Structure 1
Amino acid sequence: MSAADPDEAASDVRSRLARLANAFIKYPARMIVAGYLVVVLIGTALLSLPAATLNDRATFVEALFTATSAACITGLVVVDTGSYWSSFGHAVILGLIQLGGLGIMTVASLLGLLVARRMGLRMQLIAQTETKSLRLGDMRRVVVGVIKMSIIIEVVTATVLTLRYWAVYADSFGEALYWGVFHAVSAFNSAGFALQADSMMEYVGDPLILVPVIVAFTLGAIGFPVIFEVTKHIRQQIRESNANVDQSPRHWTVHTKITVLTHGVLAVVGIFSVTMFEWANPATMGPLSTMEKLLAGSFQGLAPRSVGFNTIETGDMNSATVLITNVLMFIGGGSAGTAGGIKVATFALLGFVILAELRGQPTVHVMGRRIAESVQRQALSVALMSIAAVMTGTVIILSLTDHRLETVLFEVISAFCTVGLSMGITADLPEVAQVILCVLMFAGRIGPIILASALALQERPRRYELPEERPIVG
C-alpha cells in the first residue's frame, strides 16, 4: 500500500461525511429526529447487552425505555438504576445523558467543523435552532462555549459531591467519586437519574448534597444563552469597573430579562406552594424538622421545572401540590437549557399577549421592546400542541390501565416535559403504556425544537390577503 493511500482513505471518509451532513442540513427537522433516534437506538442496543446488567439481561422495553429516558434527559425509570444496571450500564446511561444535555445539534455542529472546517449560513441557522443563540455571530465560539460551560459546572459539582460522599456516605474515595460524577452529570443535565432507589430522599437534611445539586440543575435549566450573557456582563463589569460603563441588567436582551424574571417568580411560587401544602403532611414533610422542611420544600419546589430528583415521596403529596407540580413541569425551564416543558419564555410571552389584549393594545410590548407577531404565534403553537400531546397520551394510557387520572396525568406530563418525577406507577404500567411514554419523552425533547425551527426558518409571506371577517370569540 502506498503512502498516499491512508490520506486518500481519510479524504474519502471526510467526503462521505460531508455529503451526509449536507443532506441532513437541507432538512433541519430530519437532522434533529435522526440524531436523537440514532442515539436512542445505540443506547438501547448497548443496554440490551448482558454486561449492562448485574443479573438478568434487560428486556427490549427496559433497555428502550431507559435509553430514551437518558437520551431525552428525563429520568423516568422502569427498573432501579443503582441495583439493576452494572457499571457498564451506568456508563452507557451517563453517556446518553451527556449527549442529550449537550444536544445532538451541538454534536452535529462540531462534526461540521471537523469535516468542513467552517460553517455556512445554513449550518449556523440549524445550530442556532438547538442553542437558541439570539444572534448568529461566531457559532463555533458558542458551541465550544456550551461544552466548556458544561464541563466546568459538572466538574465543580462533582468535586463538591465527591468530598461530601467520601466524608459521610461512601466506603472509599473511588465509590465517592463514582457517585459524585454520576449525580453531578445527572443534575446539570436535568436527567434525574439517581443511584439510590429513593432518589434524594436519603439526603433530605443534608444541604451539602442538596444545595450543589440545586445549583447544578438550576444552571442547566435556565439556558445557555442566559448563562453566556450574564457571565459576559459580569466579566465586562469586572474589567471596566473603573470606567464609566453601565453593565447593569437593564441592558440585557429581552430574552434574558424574561427568562431570569419568570424563572425567579416561578421558583418563589414553587417553593412557597410545596412547603405550605406539604408542611404538615405526615406522609411527606410532616415528620421532618423545621430546617429539613425548608430544605425539602426548596428542593421540591425547584425540581419540577427541570429535574426528576425528589426529596419527599411524590406519590404521597397532597392533590394541591400535585396540581402545582403539574403546572411547573409543563412550563419547564429556559430555552436552550437542559430542562423540558414549553419553556419559561413561551409561558411569559403568552402572559404578555393576554395582558396586551386586556389592555386593548394592538401590539405586545415587553420591557421596552415590541414582540413580533410571528413570535407570538410560535409561542401559542408550542403551548397548544404540547397540551394536545399531553391530553392524547393521558387518554391512551387511561384506556390501557386502571390507574387514576391524577397519577396518569402526572406521569404523562413528566414524560412529555422531560422532567422525570413519578408517582410510582411507571414500572407497573403495561409494556404498551411504557412505549407510549417513550414516544412522549422523545416527542417532548425534540418536538418543540422542530416546531420552533420550522416556524422560524420556513416562514413564507403571503402574496395576497383574503377579505377580513371576525368570528365571535368567547
Structure 2
Amino acid sequence: MRTQAEVSRPVLRRIRTFVDTAVVASPARFATVIFTSLVLVLTAVLALPIATVERSATPLADALFTAVSTICVTGLSVVDMATHWSTFGTVAILIGLQVGGIGVLTLASMLGLIVSRRLGLRAKLMAASDTNLQRIHAGPVSESQTVKLGDIGGLLSTVAISVLAIELAVTVLITPRLMLAGFDPWAATWQGFYYASSAFTNTGFMPNPEGLEPFETDPWMLGSISIAVILGSLGFPVIFALARLSRGEGRLSVHVKLTLVTTTILFVLGAIAIYALEWANPATIGAQDPAARPMTAGFLSIMTRSGGFSNVNINEMHGSTLLIMDMLMFVGGGSASTAGGIKVTTLAVLFLAALAEARGDENMQAFNRRLPSDVLRLSVSVVLWGATIVAVATIALLVVTDEPMDRVLFDVISAFATCGLSTGVTAEVPDAGKYILAATMWAGRVGTVTLAAALAASQRRQLYTLPEERPIVG
C-alpha cells in the first residue's frame, strides 16, 4: 500500500508540469491570471460576514471594489476602511496590500518557486519581466539597463528584505507619534504598522476614521509617511541597485539614473505648482500657517505620484490644481515599483525623443548612452494604452453619474494610476460606477505593457519588408 507522500508526488508533478507549460506559453498571461485570481479570492473573503464589524455580508460591488483597490494597492474606497471592517477583514486587507505591492510578475515567480521548490530559468525570466518589461516583447534588450537574469535571486531576496525592513522601520517612526497623540501602545503599534504598510505599498488606506487630520501639519508624521511612499515608488530594481552601490558593488544604470532624476524633477515642479496655485485658497493650504504651506505642497506632490494620502480636502482645490495633479498621477512612479501610472522612465524617454528630434540627432541619448528605438515605441504604446483606458473610463463614468468633468477625470486617473486620491466622486458612485473604477484599477495595476503582452497570442514574424512611404506629420 502506497503512503500519502507517494500518492501526492504524481499530483505535485502534474501541477509543476502545468505551471511550466503555462509559463512557457505566456509568462505575462499566467501572471495576470494569478493576479486576477487573488482579487477574486479576496473579494470572497471580504464578502463574508466575519469580515465586517457588524457581522453582515458586504455587498458584492463593495467587496469587489475593496479587493481590487487592495490588491492593486490603489487606496480608493467606497466604505469607511477604519470602521467597516473587523479585525479579520483588516488583516485580510493588510495581507492583500503586501501581495499587491510585490508586483504581478514577481508574485507569479514566487508562487512558481513555491511549487517547484527552486528558482529555475523560467521563474527567473518571469521575475526579470517585472524589472524590465521589454523582456516579454520581441527584439533585443539591453540587460545592463536593469537587473540581470543572474541577479534575480538576489532581487527577490531584496524585495522580501526591503519590504520587511522598510515597513518595520517606518512603524518604529510612526508608533511613538501615535502614542503621543493619545493612542494606547497596542493601538499605536497596530495603526503604525497599518500606516507603514499602506505608505510603502503606495496604497493610502488609513486605519483611523479621522485620517491625517490630527497630523495635518505634523512634520514627523508626514515625513515618515513620505519616506515610505518615496521608497515604494522608486521600484525594487532601483532599491536593489542602491543597495549594491552602498556595498561598493556595481554602478548605477541608465534606468536608475533616469528614475532618480525624473522623480526629483517632478517632485520639485509639482510642489511649486501646488504651492503657487493653492497658497491663497482658504479651504486648503491657505488655511495653514505660512511655515507649513511648503511642507503640505511637497507632501501632496509626493502623494500624487501614487501615495494616496492627503492632509487637505482634495475636493476644495482649484480646477487648475486638480489638472496639475492629474498629470502627476498619470505619470506615477518608477517601473517595477508599488506605484502605478505610465512610469517616470516612460516620460523621460518621450522627453529624450523630443529633445533628440529638436537637436536633429539620429538617436536618443541619456548619460552618455544611446537608447534604442524600440524603447521609444514601447513608451508610446504605454502612453496611448493608458490614455485610452482613462478616456473610456471617464466617458463611462460620466454616463452613470452627474458629477462634473474635472472631478470624474481626477478619480479615474487616480484609479488608473493606482494613486488613491479622490475628490469624493468614488464614494458616491452607483454600483455601475464602482465596477467601472474597479476595471480601471485592474488595468492600471496589471500594467498596459503586461496587459498587451498577455493579449498577444504569439510573436509575429514578418519575412518581408514593405515599400517605404512617409506621411505628412504635424
TM (normalized to structure 1)?
A: 0.93
Q: Distance in 1 between matches of 2:461 and 2:32?
A: 27
Give the secondary-structure state (helix, strand or coil) at the position aligned to 2:360. Answer: coil
Check 1:451–1:53 CA distance in 2 against 1; reply closer, same or farther (3 A cut). closer
The SS at the match of 1:365 is strand
- CA gap of 1:461–1:134, structure 2 versus 1, over 3 A, is farther
Residues 124 and 139, structure 1, Cα contact 8 Å, conserved in 2: yes
Q: How do 1:26-425 residues align onto structure 2 when only pairs under 5 Å count? A: 26-55=25-54, 56-132=56-132, 133-170=146-183, 172-236=184-248, 251-425=251-425
Cα 1:191/1:438, change in 2 over 3 Å: same
CA RMSD, Structure 1 to Structure 2 (Å): 2.0
Distance change >3 Å, CA 330–CA 168, structure 1 → 2: same
Q: CA deviation at 1:13?
A: 4.2
Query: Does the residue aligned with 2:285 lie in a helix, a strand or coil?
Result: coil
Question: 8 Å contact 2:307–2:339 — kept in the other structure?
Answer: yes
Residue 22 of structure 1: aligned partner: 20
- Structure 2 counterpart of 1:140, one-letter code: G
- Structure 1 residues 254, 395: CA separation in 2 closer, same or farther (over 3 Å shift)? same
Unaligned runs of 5+ in 2: 133-145
Residue type at the aligned position of 2:305 = R
3-state secondary structure, aligned to 2:248: helix
More divergent stretch after superposition (287-296 vs 80-89): 287-296
1:294, CA displacement in angstroms?
A: 2.3
Aligned residue for 2:3, secondary structure, equals helix
Would you say the 8 A contact 1:382–1:451 is kept in 2? no
**CA deviation vs aligned residue, 1:381-421 (integer Å, no higher than 9, x gap):** 00011001100111111111111100010010000111010
Going from structure 1 to structure 2, the CA distance change for 1:457 and 1:293 (only over 3 Å counts) comes to: farther
Q: Could you report, residue by residue, the CA deviation over 1:310-362 in whole angstroms, capped at 9, with x for unpaired residues?
A: 01100001112101100000000000110000000001001111111112222
Q: In the alignment, what sits opposite 2:4?
A: 6
Q: Are the counterparts in 1 of residues 104 and 446 from structure 2 also a CA contact under 8 Å?
A: no
* SS at 1:84 equivalent: coil
Structure 1 residues 254 and 282: CA distance shift in structure 2, 3 A: same
Paired with 1:455 and 1:350, the residues of 2 have a C-alpha distance of 25
- Number of aligned residues: 459
Q: Is the 8 A contact 1:378 1:452 kept in 2?
A: no
Query: Conserved in 2, the CA contact under 8 Å of 1:202 and 1:311?
Result: no
Which segment is superposed worse, 338-347 or 423-432?
Answer: 423-432
Q: How big is the shift at 1:118? A: 3.3
Aligned to 2:138: none
- 1:461 shift after superposition: 5.3
How far the C-alpha of 1:374 sits from its partner, in A, is 1.1
Q: Deviations over 1:413-463 (max 9, x none)?
A: 000111010001112111101100000000001132415756999765532
* Percent of paired sites with the same residue: 39
SS of corresponding position for 1:306: helix
**How far apart are 1:124 and its partner, in Å?**
1.9
| Amino acid in the other structure paired with 1:150 | V
Offset of residue 14 of structure 1 = 2.6
- Taking a change above 3 Å as real, the CA distance of residues 214 and 121 of structure 1, as seen in their structure-2 partners, is same
Moved more, 431-440 or 458-467: 458-467
Give 1:371 shift.
0.9
Q: Give the Cα separation in 2 of the matches to 1:366 and 1:332.
A: 21
Report Cα offsets for 1:204-233 as digits up to 9, x if no partner: 121221111100010000111111111211
Q: Deviations over 1:169-205 (max 9, x none)?
A: 31x1111111001110000000111123453233112
Report the Cα distance in structure 2 between the residues aligned to 1:441 and 1:455, rounded to whole angstroms: 18
Letter in 2 for 1:145: T
Q: Unpaired segments of 5 or more residues in structure 1?
A: 238-246
Q: Is 2:463 the counterpart of 1:467?
A: no
Summarize deviations over 1:265-321 as a string: whole Å, max 9, x none: 001011111122111211011221123222211111110011111011000011121
CA-CA distance at 1:29 after TM superposition? 2.6
Given that 1:191 and 1:420 are in contact with CA atoms closer than 8 Å, whether structure 2 keeps it comes out as yes
Q: CA deviation at 1:168?
A: 2.0
CA distance in 2, matches of 1:151, 1:300: 26
CA contact (8 A) 1:204 1:295 kept: no
Q: Is the 8 A contact 1:109 1:143 kept in 2?
A: no
| Maintained 8 Å contact 1:382/1:452 | no
| Alignment partner, residue 241 of structure 1 | none
Contact 1:259 / 1:334 at 8 angstroms: preserved in 2? yes
Does the CA-based 8 Å contact 1:326-1:410 persist in structure 2?
yes
TM-score by length of 2: 0.93
Q: Secondary structure of the residue that 1:340 maps to in structure 2?
A: coil
**Mapped partners of 2:97, 2:257: distance in 1:** 29
Moved more, 457-466 or 318-327: 457-466
Q: Does the C-alpha gap of structure 1 residues 138 and 6 become closer, same or farther in structure 2, counting only changes over 3 Å?
A: farther
Please tell me whether residue 443 in structure 1 is matched to residue 443 in structure 2: yes
- What do the CA deviations read for 1:7-27 (whole angstroms, capped 9, x no partner)? 214423431331231132022
